[in-house]
Amino acid sequence: MRKVSLKALALATALGAGLTLSACGDDESDTPDTTTSTTTTSSQAQAAPTAADLQTVLARAVDPNVPTDQKLDTVMGGQEAPELFDALTKASVDSGATFEVKEPVLPSALPGIYTASVNLIMPDREPQLISGVEFVQQDGKYKLDRKWACDLVTNVVPDQVPPMCNQAL
Burial 54-65 (b: 16+ CB within 10 A, else e): bbebbbbbbbee
- Torsion, CA 153, CA 121, CA 112, CA 72, rounded to 10: 50
Whether the predicted pLDDT of 13 surpasses 50 = no
Q: Angle formed by the axes of helices 146-156 and 83-95, to 10°?
A: 60
For residue 9, being part of any structural domain is answered with: yes
| 165 assigned to some structural domain | no
**Pairwise CA distance, residues 162 & 72, whole Å:** 14
Total tally of structural domains belonging to the chain: 1
pLDDT, average across residues 110-135: 90
State the Cα–Cα distance between residues 15 and 56, nearest whole angstrom.
Answer: 19
Over residues 26-44, the mean pLDDT reads 42
CATH number for 117: 3.10.450
Does residue 169 lie within any of the structural domains? no
Q: Sorting pLDDT into bands at 50, 70 and 90, what band is 47?
A: low
Q: How confident is the model at residue 168 (pLDDT cuts 50, 70, 90)?
A: low
Residue 42 is assigned to a structural domain of this protein:
no
The secondary structure of 108-169 as a DSSP string is -SSTTEEEEEEEEE-TTS--EEEEEEEEEEETTEEEE-HHHHHHHHHHH-GGG--GGGGS--
At 75, the pLDDT band (50, 70, 90 cuts) reads very high
pLDDT of residue 103 exceeding 60, the answer is yes
Is 20 a member of any domain? yes
Domain that holds residue 139: 2-24+49-159
Asked whether the predicted pLDDT for residue 66 surpasses 90, the reply is yes
Report the C-alpha gap between 129 and 120 in whole angstroms.
6
